[in-house]
Amino acid sequence: MRSIFGGGGAATGTSRGADASRVPRHSSGWKEMLKHLHSEESQRVLDIGPTSSTNINYITSLGHSIYMANLVEEAAKAEWWSRAEDGGTKFDVERFLATNLNFTGRNFDIVLLWDTADYLPEASVAPVLKRIHNVMEPGGLMLAFFHATTDPGASFCRFHLTDTDVVEMQRAGSYPVEHIYSNRKVENLLSDFSSYRFFLAKDSLREVIITR
């Protein structure tokens, strides 16, 4: 995890199998979030994904603070997994949350979840969303992406912010999509939140703006 508050210091992060090329993608959800960032001052932003110096510098240039957590890379580490009684494996959800989503009393106005939920162990997804709900300010907004289909060519990406309705996607690792959620399942996962709005997209990603 990395925390950057105030000031525009740069940071970089490289995941396994990273690719330097960036692919622009129109995002209606980011367009809505951008309006919110420009309308309010001194907001706290939680960016859940591979560290992007572009995002850090952009968010801090607007006068906001940013906190980053790369849950997908963390969840792939062997330390969270152990042998289950039935001979399979189990993921230590509580310890994972305590280690990676402990914000020491900070609450957030904006959360950029990206497509993180699709890459996490399924047992952790609902608890992660519940923890995020608990650390968001009332009325806070979250942007989440969900894969609509199983695409063999899909790559785990770092999402770089721009000052337009475009985000730039950059391959950031070789992690597989763990599950595809239907709209109904997404709605169930978001049941603690006050409202949500789906946006249509031309590719295999569905976008959702969620209000705390």
CATH code of the domain containing 58: 3.40.50.150
| 142 three-class SS | strand
For 75, other C-beta atoms within 10 Å of its C-beta total: 21
What is the residue range of 143's domain?
Answer: 2-211
CA-based nearest residue to 107, from 136, 138, 143, 140: 136
Q: What is the arithmetic mean of pLDDT over 11-37?
A: 77
The answer, yes or no, to whether residue 8 has pLDDT greater than 50, is: no
Of the chain, the percentage scoring pLDDT greater than 70 comes to 90
Least confident range from 16-30, 62-76, 110-124: namely 16-30
Average pLDDT, the chain: 88
Q: What DSSP element (H or E) covers 98?
A: helix 93-100
Percent of the chain with pLDDT over 90: 76
**Total domains in the fold of the chain:** 1
Task: Say which residues have a Cβ less than 8 Å from residue 83's Cβ, sequence separation at least 6.
Answer: 89, 90
Pick the residue with more confidence: 3 or 169? 169
* Cα dihedral across residues 197, 202, 206, 212: positive or negative: negative
Pick 7 or 104 by higher pLDDT: 104
Q: Give Cα separations from 170 to 96, 117, 173, 178, 192 (angstroms).
A: 26, 18, 9, 19, 31
Q: Are strands 205-211 and 136-147 parallel, antiparallel or unpaired?
A: antiparallel
Distance CA 48, CA 67 (A): 8
Q: What is the pLDDT of residues 155-202, one digit of tens each?
A: 899 999 999 999 999 999 889 999 999 999 999 999 999 999 999 877
For 82-112, the pLDDT digits (tens) are 987 777 889 999 999 999 999 988 999 999 9
CA 137 to the chain's CA centroid? 17
7 has a pLDDT exceeding 90: no
